[in-house]
């Protein structure tokens, strides 16, 4: 079956969403002919193993010129789009419906920016329902995310399939010689953003009085202005360095006010590294037995650092559904079938 997969950013760009998109395409490519439509990247794709069509997107809505003609040229049997609030998702859902083709929508994205932004709120009221209405199937990473969308747009529950993301099997493989580093540190790894409570984490860390270092790394963190000598800010880092930092940390600290999932929790779990996490529904759904939980206040965060600053830490292993099998099962519903009869 010929499949087109649309996303805002794709490998070799690095990030949680990019990692998920790569895993999706890798999974689909095992049995199907997959074309990726995404934005250009300053990184080289000259030797890419993927069939990629690059279309430059303009505005935060990611309007891609010539998207319609590109979709006509690819002529897929199945359309999959990754990203809520993006023109390529709204356009592709309508495009697929007009041609009687199935459209799988993966809305991940609404939880990764400022939820109170006026443009975002206006989009949600005026246009946000479109991709959900046109979708044959909607895949979310958590039950909590599914219920959010049902509450927002009244989308029938039978349209949804909850499939938690997985990490690649070889995720904990490190492809460089590991440098020797001091292991007694806490780690924040991730981008900055309105939902990431980095400033509160820093304030809580300082209040706790711990003598262990705090290392902060990820896109946007290089712009943080920090004078505390116990805090190291690394900015953007490579995938291998990220893995080394996670592997050797005393604990990964993940403060956030809202997420659709919690990829960093999976990454920490892959190296058996404990993680301190915000008390929010998707984290609790993913790691319900984790006891290292804090509210998004400096006092609560400081208390977690104080209580667990000594002794050995450990977290229960995270168990999730097999993403690859579940995704292929959904896709195979549409192979060699009357797709119109499959529409919800």
Write the pLDDT tens digit of every residue in 280-314: 999 999 999 999 999 999 999 999 999 999 999 99
268, 171 Cβ separation under 8 angstroms: no
User: ω before 336 within 30° of 0 (cis)?
Assistant: no
Distance, in Å, from the CA atom of 210 to the CA atom of 322, rounded to the nearest integer, reads 39
The ranges of the chain with pLDDT < 50 are 339-344
Distance, in Å, from the CA atom of 256 to the CA atom of 203, rounded to the nearest integer, reads 14
299, 208 Cβ separation under 8 angstroms: no
Q: Do β-strands 137-140 and 160-162 pair in parallel, antiparallel, or remain unpaired?
A: parallel
CA distances to 50, 72, 172, 254 from 260, rounded to whole Å, are: 27, 32, 23, 14
Cα 188 from chain centroid (whole Å): 16
As to burial, measured by CB atoms within 10 angstroms (0-12 exposed, 13-18 middle, 19+ buried), residue 256 is buried
In this predicted structure, what is the pLDDT of residue 194?
A: 86
Q: Count of CB atoms within 10 A of residue 114's CB?
A: 12
In this predicted structure, what is the pLDDT of residue 1?
A: 94
* Domains of the chain with CATH codes: 2-166+322-342 (3.40.50.2000), 185-307 (3.40.50.2000)
Buried b (16+ CB within 10 A) or exposed e, 64-101: beebeebbeebebbbbbbbbbbbbbbbbbbebbbeeeb
What is the pLDDT of the chain when averaged over all its residues? Answer: 92
In percent, how much of the chain has pLDDT > 90? 79
């Amino acid at each position: 079956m010929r499949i087109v997969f649309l996303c805002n950013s794709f490998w070799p760009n690095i990030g949680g969403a990019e990692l998920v998109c790569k895993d999706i395409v890798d999974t689909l490519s095992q049995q199907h002919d997959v074309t990726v439509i995404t934005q250009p990247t300053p990184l080289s794709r000259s030797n890419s193993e993927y069939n990629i069509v690059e279309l430059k997107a303009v505005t935060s809505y990611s309007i891609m010129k010539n998207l319609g003609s590109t979709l006509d040229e690819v002529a897929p049997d199945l359309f999959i789009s990754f990203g809520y609030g993006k023109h390529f998702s709204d356009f592709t859902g309508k495009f697929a419906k007009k041609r009687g083709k199935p459209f799988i929508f993966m809305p991940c994205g609404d939880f990764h920016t400022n939820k109170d932004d006026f443009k975002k709120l206006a989009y949600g009221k005026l246009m946000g329902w479109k991709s959900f209405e046109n979708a044959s199937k909607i895949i979310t990473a958590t039950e909590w995310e599914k219920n959010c969308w049902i509450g927002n747009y009244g989308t029938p529950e039978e349209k949804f399939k909850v499939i938690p993301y997985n990490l690649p099997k070889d995720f904990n493989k490190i492809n460089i010689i590991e440098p020797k580093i001091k292991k007694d540190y806490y780690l924040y790894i991730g981008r900055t953003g309105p939902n990431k409570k980095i400033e509160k984490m820093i304030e809580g860390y300082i209040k706790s009085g711990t003598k262990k270092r705090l290392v902060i790394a990820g896109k946007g963190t290089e712009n943080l202005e920090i004078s505390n000598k116990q805090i190291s800010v690394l900015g953007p880092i490579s995938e291998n360095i990220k893995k080394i930092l996670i592997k050797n940390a005393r604990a990964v600290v993940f403060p956030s006010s809202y997420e659709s999932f919690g990829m960093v929790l999976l990454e920490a779990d892959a190296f058996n590294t404990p993680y301190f996490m915000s008390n929010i529904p998707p984290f609790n759904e993913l790691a319900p037995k984790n006891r290292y939980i804090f509210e998004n206040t400096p006092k609560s965060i400081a208390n977690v650092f104080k209580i667990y600053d000594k002794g050995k830490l450990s977290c229960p292993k995270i168990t999730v559904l097999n993403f690859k099998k579940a995704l292929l099962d959904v896709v195979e519903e549409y192979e060699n079938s009357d797709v119109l009869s499959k529409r919800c």
